[in-house]
Amino acid sequence: MVALESTLITHGLPWPTNLETARACESAIRANGAIPATIAIWHGVPTVGLSEAQLEELARSTTARKASRRDLGVCVGWKALAGTTVSATMALAHAVGIRLFATGGIGGAHRPPAPDFDISADLIELARTPVLVVCAGAKSILDLPRTLEILETLGVPVLGYRNDTFPTFYTAGGDLPVSARIDSAAQAAAVFQAHCQLGGNGVLLANPLPNNDAIPLVDFDRARQLAEADAEQAGVFGARLTPYLLKRIAEILGPVVLLANQKLIVANAQLAAEIACSLTFLEQSV
């Protein structure tokens, strides 16, 4: 099985791209021999494997909350409808024994003027929950060198899929090294299995978007600076910061961003399905 998060449905992508992307991910996982399970808090019920109708209601909702690991109990107690972030999705996936999870980009350490301690719960969750997270790295709205240092400190391997550097989401040209390179789904499964057997927890596998689909870094940086200035002026911080910046950048750069975003998320879902099959094969062949 492959878990899928739902904050990208509630807060990451606009309607109807959010629903299209969620459906495309589920299809890509099925087409590659695994079973998708989109995770959310469904009016107070932690739910692993949303139905078609639930997926659509979540995608249409304008009031759904954003739940990180911290917010799970609150959302259940309030009977809230909530999209789960990487940290909350990992926690719920692990609770039911799912070990593969695909997303777009993870959260990380923010740049100034956000406070030094605005560090996503995604990083801490990777340190304590044994799930392999397939992503396209993290966006350059974050402090990427600091994000990678924190992951090293926490004992989280950052693997590059057929790539030696940590990708920067839909932007071309990340130049920070990953901790190891992986060249096949089978190799990813073997590394993850060994990491867990040796007492490790989460593993990050970064799958870059092909260069011809990626947004040039100069364009992205210009949009990011405008978005950061707007966020500061509007007094946006904390959990609202990531969705705010992503939305502003998409507004500034236009539809190319949504297309690139959608492409990388679906590619990650497909790769996670391949690894899920390899992992099952590895375990059954012992």
Closest CA to 113 of 283, 217, 245, 276: 245
The one among 34, 81, 227, 246 contacting ligand PSU by CB under 6 A: 246
Q: Is 239 in the site for ligand PSU (CB under 6 A)?
A: yes
Please tell me whether residue 10 binds ligand PSU under the rule CB under 6 A.
no
Q: Which of 5, 118, 122, 143 contacts Mn ion by CB under 5 A? A: 118
Question: Between residues 32 and 242, which has the closer beta carbon with respect to ligand PSU?
Answer: 242
Map the footprint of ligand PSU across residues 90-129, applying CB under 6 A: 104-105, 107, 120-122
Taking CB under 6 A as the binding criterion, the range among 1-9, 40-48, 155-163, 196-204 that sits at the site for ligand PSU is: 1-9
Task: Report which residue type is found at 119.
Answer: I
Distances (CA, A) of 21 to 38, 250, 264: 12, 16, 10
Smallest distance, ligand PSU to C-beta of residue 286, A = 33
Specify whether the CB–CB gap between 206 and 136 falls below 8 A: yes
Give the CB-nearest residue to Mn ion. 118
Quick one: which H or E segment has residue 65? strand 65-67
Interface residues for ligand PSU in 41-60 (CB under 6 A)? none
Site map 69..88 versus ligand PSU, x via CB under 6 A: ----------------xx--
In sequence order, the 6+-apart residues with CB closer than 8 A to the CB of 272 are: 2, 29, 34, 100, 101, 102, 132, 134
Quickly list H helices, 38-177: 52-60, 72-77, 86-95, 121-128, 144-153
Measuring CA to CA, which residue among 188, 116, 125 is closest to residue 151?
A: 125
Q: Please, what is the minimum distance in Å from the beta carbon of residue 260 to ligand PSU?
A: 11
Please provide residue 132's backbone torsions phi and psi, each rounded to the nearest 5 degrees: -90, 120
Task: Please state the φ and ψ torsions of residue 102, each to the nearest 5 degrees.
Answer: -115, 140
From the list 21-29, 39-47, 111-119, 183-191, the region that binds Mn ion by CB under 5 A is 111-119
**Would you please indicate which residues are annotated as catalytic (active-site) residues?**
5, 139
Cβ burial of 127 (10 Å; 0-12, 13-18, 19+) is middle
CB of 187 to ligand PSU, least distance (A): 26
Nearer to ligand PSU among residue 7 and residue 38 (C-beta):
7
Q: Which residue is nearest to ligand PSU (CB)?
A: 12
Q: Measured at the alpha carbon of residue 6, what is the angle toward residues 233 and 11, in degrees to the nearest 5?
A: 20
Distance in Å, CB of 59 to ligand PSU, minimum: 13
By CB under 6 A, what part of segment 149-208 binds ligand PSU? 169
Residue ranges in contact with ligand PSU by CB under 6 A = 5, 7-8, 11-12, 68, 85-86, 104-105, 107, 120-122, 139, 169, 239, 242, 246
Q: Residues in the site for Mn ion, rule: CB under 5 A? A: 118
